[in-house]
Structure 1
């Protein structure tokens, strides 16, 4: 009997507790296997896309599924240690509208930013470090936070709340989410590299498009530069600033995006372009041949994400290409302009050397013919009229020559130099060199507008002497004192011009009109046979005209 009992005990060596323990362990293994398969599915889901925004959303969704959390979020940490992005799941649209602004990294969320280590809380509402929820926010209790690292740098944090099948998150939940976060860091880095390569390609394409536009002489290249830069940089506004005459100032030439209409034309300090503008801002100098030729400004709204080092690097490469293209386009425009100016100089030279000389010779011939021919008073008046017409034509052509040469020079000669040129030009027609003397600082006191009139008056006066006076000496004196400029032309010719200047009235009337227009005076004194004294004056600056 005892043997039978021993035999029975040998068949049943374990009790019910042992079997129950084994069954529970088997169940635990099944659950663990299931959760590990869930982790593998989560990893596959996270790594199945290369779009950064999609990857971030999938990380949060996978984390919620893995530990059965009702709500989840991923906060991306900015350079200033605040949250620049906050991707969330579990919130419907009406809930998001009620909550309003997304968190910026305070309370428990900020704690994880400052201390990037896993954190589990049974009830977030009772923790003294919590900052509370805004109005309209759903109630939350259990909490699990885990940092996501890329190498040694913390990219952001996973926030999970309200475990649905239990009152709190477990240590096993924490380990699973940490494993997911490690895989997520790799997926995020791959997505960032892919996205960066795509953006770099867009920057290069924009550079190529603008370069082609510049080389094809397309319209308004600055607007295209600003628009394409704003588009590629995902910015809310952009502007192109070019230097003024002072290197310390820039002027806004073009602005696109969310900018006030009156910004174009605004002058800003070069040291702080668009000072006072809130939100992320990126200022890239346009450097060509080692010198700054302007700046490209890109910005985002106050709540926009910050520009990264990669953004600055790519925008700088774009700006370098654009600055070089602008320099080449400017060189081509300068070359074309020089060709036009050289053509103007050639036309002016031909007019002076051929046309004027032939007309002048014709006028002198008519004067000689009139003196040798016995003609009626009517015929004499007609000949005199023809001669005056030729004189006036010569004056108009000379004015045209001066304007052509003036427009054909990058840097005009000084007023003193222009007056000397006129005296030199008159030497051929007079047969001798007039004497010219200056009194006062003519170049620095006489404005450009008044100087143009003065040049025209001296040219007309010497032309009259050459045509009518038969002089052997001419003295020209130019004064500039006490806000007035005056020119006196004195010759020893035959005289005969009355004080009102009725003889040779066309040119003299023009000189009188110029003087009156500029607030000055004009007079001619010419006793018969005793030469002529012509005096013309004007204010050195005439505000209405100089403006």
Structure 2
């Protein structure tokens, strides 16, 4: 009853050992937990031996030899009358190197051998039939207790994995960037699996896989950027969406990366949902750590599937948000074009008509002329704003007009205000490389020079592809005006640059300063 009261597995195993020693009067007791696949002792719980005695004993025998090997081959109660003369007796796990009395009983959980209970050095003489009966009953009850503790531990572990998966979903849907999302998946999986590292790999264009996100207990240096080259045996399973379980990364021939020597047991799980492979989640442990159990592999595989779905949902949500932004920008652009520009143009036409009717009044004509010029300039700037709204904010511009706007937006960060930009003529159709590159370089230099001048609060940029050069040729003119102080003390500075449009067809056409 006392053994069955423990819900935690490790305390339950230790209590089984202590109880067995107390019931039989054994000086030394041990419970060896078996690896079900390799039939060897992987963990030992002891009662009685001191530190020096453990040191003299060394590693517990877990091979085919001795009394321990006999129990491994034939898991039935074993109680030799004289262990000292038994050729199968090399010593008992956790006890003295040589024993005078011995009792071994298997502990079964659900019909399978979980481990063996070893007792030695009974006070008062050899173990008798009553001791054997007591320990056999105890082993039977211990099997039930171990089964219950396993179920409890599995339930708690499953609960932690579910909570971790929910935390990943919440974090991903909160709007984090793609890199942060992958790092979140790697970190949560590492913590839940008790791994030394959690890494996410994604397919490369060459057909391999590259680590793009990593979370480790120590310094992750050297992990991110590590590539599994095409042709690696493990890639066939990974790219096919199959999990890979490895007992020792350092010695497994399927592992070819340089960092494999740092790790031991590992599992590599596909991040896929709906037939789409996003990448692979790898969870390596340190060398010498326990291998992953079947339960851990199952829980981690479900976590990977859940994380992949969360990544797809986060990506879809990001796309929807971007689409909503684009739709809103398009609506604003349409409103500006259909309402603002049209009204400004109508007002300009009315002023132009008024100026013609006031032909005899020079002052009125000049005033109306300036108003018309201002309206024309405003229309150009509004059209420039419409064009900027129609460009995806995160994408690199693909047109000459977009690249000019990108330069002025970049300068606005240093200037503290946005320069106004005006285009005259079909700039995207008439400006080509190498003329485009030279004009952008001149614009960049003019904006930098304006930033260095004192008192600049306004900059006007004009790109005119309908300009006529002094020799009568068709040209491109760049004007950058600012209201800063000139070296001679005058107000305002103008930077002007011209080039023949034929420069777009080859580098032989000279610039005109």
The question of 1:523 aligning with 2:482 is answered: no
CA distance in 1, matches of 2:466, 2:144: 103
Q: 1:69 aligns with which of 26, 35, 38?
A: 26
CA distance in 1, matches of 2:61, 2:361: 105
Q: Output one character per residue of 1:415-468: Cα deviation in whole Å (capped at 9) or x when no partner.
A: 7xx79xx9xxxxxxxxxxxxxxxxxxxxxxxxx989x99xxxxx9674489xxx
CA change 1:127–1:226 in 2 (3 A) is farther
Greater Rg over alpha carbons, structure:
1
Partner of 2:504: 536
Displacement of 1:67: 3.0
CA distance in 2, matches of 1:115, 1:161: 19
Q: 1:331 aligns with which of 289, 309, 316?
A: 316
Displacement of 1:121: 4.9
Partner of 1:251: 211
Displacement of 1:47: 1.9
For 2:478, what is the secondary structure of its paired residue? helix
Partner of 2:478: 506
For 1:536, what is the secondary structure of its paired residue? helix
Query: Contact 2:212 / 2:225 at 8 angstroms: preserved in 1?
Result: yes
For 1:300, what is the secondary structure of its paired residue? strand
CA distance in 1, matches of 2:475, 2:395: 39
Q: Output one character per residue of 1:208-246: Cα deviation in whole Å (capped at 9) or x when no partner.
A: 444445555589555554444444444444344455667
How many pairs were matched up?
Answer: 423
Partner of 1:282: 267
Alignment of 1:115-126 (within 5 A): 115-121=74-80
Displacement of 1:340: 0.7
Gaps of 5+ in 2: 229-234, 250-254, 408-421, 438-464, 482-496, 508-513
Partner of 1:346: 331
**What is the CA RMSD across the aligned residues, in angstroms?**
5.4
- After TM superposition, the score normalised by the length of structure 2 is 0.62
Partner of 1:312: 297
Q: Output one character per residue of 1:32-66: Cα deviation in whole Å (capped at 9) or x when no partner.
A: xxxxxxxxxxxx33223222112211221222223
CA change 1:243–1:404 in 2 (3 A) is farther
Partner of 1:47: 4
- After TM superposition, the score normalised by the length of structure 1 is 0.59
CA change 1:506–1:239 in 2 (3 A) is closer
CA distance in 2, matches of 1:89, 1:408: 69
Query: Contact 1:84 / 1:104 at 8 angstroms: preserved in 2?
Result: no
Query: Contact 1:363 / 1:391 at 8 angstroms: preserved in 2?
Result: yes
Query: Contact 1:213 / 1:221 at 8 angstroms: preserved in 2?
Result: yes
Is the deviation greater in 346-355 or in 305-314? 346-355
For 1:338, what is the secondary structure of its paired residue? helix
Partner of 1:528: none
Q: 2:118 aligns with which of 124, 135, 159?
A: 159
More helix by share: 1
CA distance in 2, matches of 1:144, 1:507: 100
Q: Output one character per residue of 1:9-51: Cα deviation in whole Å (capped at 9) or x when no partner.
A: xxxxxxxxxxxxxxxxxxxxxxxxxxxxxxxxxxx33223222
CA distance in 1, matches of 2:167, 2:3: 36
The question of 1:404 aligning with 2:389 is answered: yes
Q: Output one character per residue of 1:466-494: Cα deviation in whole Å (capped at 9) or x when no partner.
A: xxxxxxxxxx79999xx9999xxxxxx99
Gaps of 5+ in 1: 1-43, 423-447, 454-458, 466-475, 487-492, 510-515, 525-533, 540-547
CA distance in 2, matches of 1:101, 1:163: 22
Displacement of 1:153: 1.6
Displacement of 1:139: 3.5
